Structure 1
């Protein structure tokens, strides 16, 4: 299924994205709810510490919030392709609003139990997995093919912007009262639910065959990704590279503390990094049109390698910020290109499943990266940890150079044109038999 046939062909292809009412509804609703989710990521440990004084219990609640990504991705991908995607998103928002609202009532009535905090955190994280996969699969039905790169870039900006604003906002709301951030988050999910109800297009093509066994459909997504050489290679490269990138925040924090930076300065540096990512997301469509995709794919890996190696040599936090921000611009551009390949190559009926496999593999090693970073920093120090991370990223870049399908990766627009031509040829070849 080509990108051109998947993405809203009935709408005016010349229409600017800012005039696409349905996308604006989806995007604005998700700005609000994504900020709410980022608030939760900070507030769950804070409220647990405030109520129990136990870092171990705070860690359990935080673990419950992140665990659903490892548990549900494959199953959720299959169900998103089988069920009505808009309904999945609406139910996810409604369930999350009710779950977070229960914490509001528990705080007003007294004190929530640890099991309730863990259960609500798990429910909220689970709803996020289903919603994210359904939204990713639905996007080509809300925008046209021409608008899709800009839409993916705006979603990247939304995610990074929410991270930039959500955690400081969560801390501020928590200072106003323990109940305030949870109430704000519950309202954010209701706002997202309201925006979804106003969106007109369906979020998937009609299904022309009955569903099969669930595990068979899950396996179909895995098998399809395995047979698609470009996407399979990009997923493997992302998984290896995320071992280094996933370790970076912890190494940075330890190194900046060693350099005498107070917590507020550390927060400001991470804010600058988030701001750089937002700028990169805004520039992504422009860069994608002007720079060959293979140059961005391979060049960004070498840039991250150089960054990680350089960080080990810098004497102060200001210098670290100056070298971090330009490189973080590249991450959203890279994500937009990879998403473009996925939308161009994956049939609509498989989009949720292939996206779930992609995310599970590429992000599944992130907890291992954090654990490994902690061990390396504890036993060897932060500077050797930077060097090891740089070595892992250099290996990732060498793998990208060594894989022909990545080294010769076409631009997304070129790939879309080829795919459309193949689809048209297949349709014209099949038409005589159909008429007979």
Structure 2
């Protein structure tokens, strides 16, 4: 009991931040989920729906390098509060437009750009804040807990969003989002203290110099940079998947809003199981091997089963197999980054990582929407009844998205096998086996 009390006392600031931010993330996820359904039913276009995420990620990718340098200079707590407030204000504007029956997809594009800008600055500040308030010995446990919250939200989001949307409408979903924001804002403002450095060192550096240091650091850390490029390639495949997923689930024979929610809930359950495993499993002998094997396992099942399956049961099994190993990958990646990157450099390096690792996401969303609407759906519509492709992927709207899943399955496996051969990535395995923190120390100022 004394050990549990000590653990709770040492982790209390993080637990408060984690729980309230996770609650707020649930509200935001419900809004995003409901808006995807709303926008697709309005336009019936995978590309126009995918552009919502393009607008969210594009500013995140473009400005992340500078955001990290600013985050290292600025007070982390104030940065997080300001970014959350601006995002909440844009949500209020969306609610007003909806109440006046003036909301259009074009408004959502602008709102997502604003939210993307706020997330660009907030994300590196949040990452550094966790490092500052948490002892290093809890990094792996916390990595699992964070993905546990993400998994729980993935389970609850389609269930709650569909229920609230059906009972009280889109406005009620947005109001719930604002209430969760308020709970997180109050807790962060009055209950959590995030240690800060003096910041004197930044007075001698320009913003460009500070941002450039993150790039210079990654040039010398070839193993970390290799992992980032690996995940950038995986994100390209995953975002094509994300763009095609609603088009298939809402259009394919046997699919609808309920089925889409069911598959998403199963994916959330898989992530929850994987998060529990990541929280309780001991330190692996090779974190790099876990990362590579987890991604290869995920790419080897889900896309094929979504492409070739014809029933919700097969789609659910594919979703479960595709996501159960992802928390293990993310947790081990998180430990490698936190223990290798010096604390005083983390904001800048994380932001550069975001630009390199996530720049493929808006590209993937655009490609996914374009390929579904302009290539694969027309290709399948032109097939004669009884043709090989019709027997393989079915007919009607949604069959083109299924064909796209089949293609990206091979692409994803190829990416995993290619980067698995990178010797610089495997050098991280040798360094992590020592169990030592390689660079930097905890800054307790």
TM range (shorter): 0.7 to 0.9
161-170 vs 55-64, greater mean Cα deviation: 55-64
Q: Specify which of 16, 20, 23 is matched with residue 32 of structure 1.
A: 23
Does residue 189 (structure 1) correspond to residue 181 (structure 2)? The answer is: yes
Does residue 92 (structure 1) correspond to residue 83 (structure 2)? The answer is: yes
Q: TM-score, normalised by structure 2?
A: 0.79
Secondary structure, aligned partner of 2:79: helix
Q: Contact 1:300–1:330 at 8 Å: present in 2 too?
A: yes
When residues 194 and 258 of structure 1 are mapped into structure 2, their CA distance, relative to the original with a 3 A threshold, is closer
Q: Specify which of 3, 7, 11 is matched with residue 20 of structure 1.
A: 11
CA distance in 2, matches of 1:129, 1:310: 33
When residues 42 and 197 of structure 1 are mapped into structure 2, their CA distance, relative to the original with a 3 A threshold, is same
Aligned length in residues = 410
Give the corresponding residue for 1:7.
none
Give the corresponding residue for 1:377.
376
Give the corresponding residue for 1:126.
117
Give the corresponding residue for 1:8.
none
Q: Contact 2:247–2:401 at 8 Å: present in 1 too?
A: yes
Give the corresponding residue for 2:422.
403
24-33 vs 245-254, greater mean Cα deviation: 245-254
Give the corresponding residue for 1:210.
202
116-125 vs 363-372, greater mean Cα deviation: 116-125
Post-superposition offset of 1:395: 2.4
Q: Contact 1:49–1:58 at 8 Å: present in 2 too?
A: yes
Does residue 357 (structure 1) correspond to residue 352 (structure 2)? The answer is: yes
CA distance in 2, matches of 1:48, 1:383: 21
Secondary structure, aligned partner of 2:202: coil
CA distance in 1, matches of 2:38, 2:270: 30
Pairwise CA RMSD of aligned residues?
Answer: 3.5
CA distance in 1, matches of 2:52, 2:408: 29
When residues 180 and 240 of structure 1 are mapped into structure 2, their CA distance, relative to the original with a 3 A threshold, is same
When residues 54 and 335 of structure 1 are mapped into structure 2, their CA distance, relative to the original with a 3 A threshold, is closer
Matches within 5 A, 1:57-72: 64-72=55-63
CA distance in 1, matches of 2:32, 2:54: 10
Give the corresponding residue for 2:225.
232
Post-superposition offset of 1:276: 0.5
Give the corresponding residue for 1:223.
216
Deviation readout 1:153-209 (Å, 9 max, x if unpaired): 211222233233234433433441443222222222221111112344434444351
Q: TM-score, normalised by structure 1?
A: 0.81
Where structure 2 has 5 or more consecutive residues not aligned to the other structure, the ranges are 381-399
CA distance in 2, matches of 1:112, 1:252: 28
Give the corresponding residue for 2:323.
328
Q: Contact 2:155–2:268 at 8 Å: present in 1 too?
A: yes
Give the corresponding residue for 1:430.
none
Matches within 5 A, 1:43-122: 43-44=34-35, 64-105=55-96, 110-112=100-102, 119-122=110-113
Matches within 5 A, 1:278-317: 278-287=272-281, 289-290=283-284, 292-307=286-301, 310-311=304-305, 312-314=307-309, 316-317=311-312
Q: Contact 2:278–2:331 at 8 Å: present in 1 too?
A: yes
Does residue 367 (structure 1) correspond to residue 362 (structure 2)? The answer is: yes
Give the corresponding residue for 1:431.
none
Q: Specify which of 267, 271, 280 is matched with residue 273 of structure 1.
A: 267
Post-superposition offset of 1:60: 6.8
Give the corresponding residue for 1:318.
313
Q: Contact 1:13–1:146 at 8 Å: present in 2 too?
A: no
Where structure 1 has 5 or more consecutive residues not aligned to the other structure, the ranges are 1-11, 425-436
Q: Contact 1:93–1:190 at 8 Å: present in 2 too?
A: no
Secondary structure, aligned partner of 1:410: helix
CA distance in 1, matches of 2:341, 2:407: 35
Deviation readout 1:67-126 (Å, 9 max, x if unpaired): 432343222212111111111011122223333234445555x35565765554433333
CA distance in 2, matches of 1:287, 1:123: 39
Give the corresponding residue for 2:139.
148
